């Protein structure tokens, strides 16, 4: 059972790390002070990388564990899992979104001189938000602990943190001409 516990614990902490990254990403873009932005960006990226490492551990453990039969091919064809197929498809699509955003983020520094890449980077980064939302959906659909009070509190807390950061970010724009006020 050890692997099964590792898998679930890694999944929960990965979800928290992606939530922290999403929250800080929004707070960073709402901040103008260079020094504060630097530190927020730093923690944003560190949380995202930690989340990806834990996601790797989560996926490795659920595939390696004999408690449930999940083939590695689910990573290539998300709809092919025999175990909780819909929840696994949502989780795999979340993984695609988060990995795509991470690869684009890593390439950003190297391709900073490319105007075309810089132009499209922001659009590609939306994959991270979609991936985060899908990961919340996956946790609500897949988890053994999904209906326990503590797991519900974590999941609702994650949703509330991102909603709060989104409202903070929105409050730093003044409609109708989207001029930043902070």
Binding site for ligand HEM (CB under 6 A): 8, 11-12, 14-15, 18, 55, 58-59, 62, 68, 70, 74, 88, 91-92, 94-95, 98, 131, 135, 138-139, 142-146, 151
Minimum CB distance to ligand HEM smaller for 12 or for 24: 12
Alpha-carbon torsion (8, 12, 17, 22), positive or negative = positive
Q: Which is nearer to ligand HEM, 67 or 174 (CB)?
A: 67
Beta carbon nearer to ligand HEM, 43 or 68: 68
Q: Which is nearer to ligand HEM, 14 or 26 (CB)?
A: 14
Residue 119 CB, nearest distance to ligand HEM (Å)? 27
- Do residues 93 and 84 touch, judged by C-beta distance below 8 A? no
For 173, the enclosing helix (H) or strand (E) is strand 173-174
To the nearest whole angstrom, how small is the minimum distance from the Cβ of residue 56 to ligand HEM? 10
Q: What's the CA angle centered on 25, arms 17 and 154, to 5 degrees? A: 35
Instruction: Compute the least distance from the CB of residue 109 to ligand HEM, in Å.
Output: 23
Residue nearest ligand HEM, CB atom distance: 143
Distance CA 115, CA 140 (A): 40
Under DSSP, is residue 167 helix (H, G, I), strand (E, B) or coil? Answer: helix
Question: What is the smallest separation between the CB atom of 133 and ligand HEM, expressed in angstroms?
Answer: 10
Residue 31 or 155: the one with the smaller Cβ distance to ligand HEM is 155
Task: Please state the closest distance from residue 68 (CB atom) to ligand HEM, in A.
Answer: 5
Q: Which residues contact 5 (CB under 8 A, 6 or more apart)?
A: none
Residue 123 to residue 108: CA distance in whole angstroms: 13
Distances (CA, A) of 108 to 46, 48, 127: 16, 15, 15
């Amino acid at each position: 059972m050890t692997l099964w516990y590792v898998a679930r614990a890694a999944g929960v902490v990965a979800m928290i790390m992606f939530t922290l990254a999403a929250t800080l990403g929004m707070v960073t873009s709402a901040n103008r002070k260079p020094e504060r932005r630097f530190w927020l960006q730093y923690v944003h990226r560190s949380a995202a990388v930690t989340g990806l490492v834990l996601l790797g551990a989560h996926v490795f453990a659920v595939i390696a564990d004999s408690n449930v039969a999940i083939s590695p091919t689910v990573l290539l064809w998300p709809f092919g899992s025999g175990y909780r197929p819909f929840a696994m498809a949502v989780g795999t699509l979340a993984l695609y979104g988060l990995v795509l955003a991470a690869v684009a983020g890593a390439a950003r520094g190297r391709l900073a001189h490319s105007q075309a890449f810089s132009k499209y980077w922001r659009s590609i980064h939306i994959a991270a938000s979609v991936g985060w939302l899908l990961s919340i959906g996956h946790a609500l659909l897949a988890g053994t602990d999904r209906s326990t009070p503590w797991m519900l509190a974590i999941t609702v807390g994650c949703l509330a943190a991102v909603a709060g950061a989104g409202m903070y970010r929105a409050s730093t724009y003044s409609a109708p001409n989207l001029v930043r006020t902070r």
